[in-house]
Amino acid sequence: MDNNETLGQLKTENLVKRVLTTEVKYIIAVVIFLAGVVTPYYAIKTDIALIKQNHFAHMETMSKQIEDNSNEIKKNDDIQTELMQTISENSVRVNLLEK
């Protein structure tokens, strides 16, 4: 009986080893698959967040530049109006002096 018991134990141990090896391989495969899927997902998520942050920074810069340009255009329009008035007044004076 000792030989049969030992043989039975060896078969049981081999079966347990095969099952555990298969399960460990399965678990490792699942972990590798999840790592392969999850890691790029978070990398893409981080890239999108950085792009959004960069976009908003550019929008702020562009808004500031647009506001500065609008103020500069308004000042130039005011100066142009004053110059046109001065030219007009001087033109009238020249015409009066010529007569």
pLDDT tens track, the chain, 99 positions = 567 777 777 778 788 788 788 888 899 999 998 888 888 889 999 999 999 999 999 999 999 999 999 999 999 999 999 999 999 999 999 888 887
Which tokens sit at 41?
């997902």
Q: What is the largest CA-CA distance in the chain?
A: 144
- Cα–Cα distance for residue pair 94/89, rounded to 1 Å: 9
The pLDDT, as a whole number, for residue 15 is 80
Six-digit token pair at 16?
A: 């347990």
Q: What is the CA radius of gyration of the chain?
A: 42
pLDDT attached to residue 1: 54
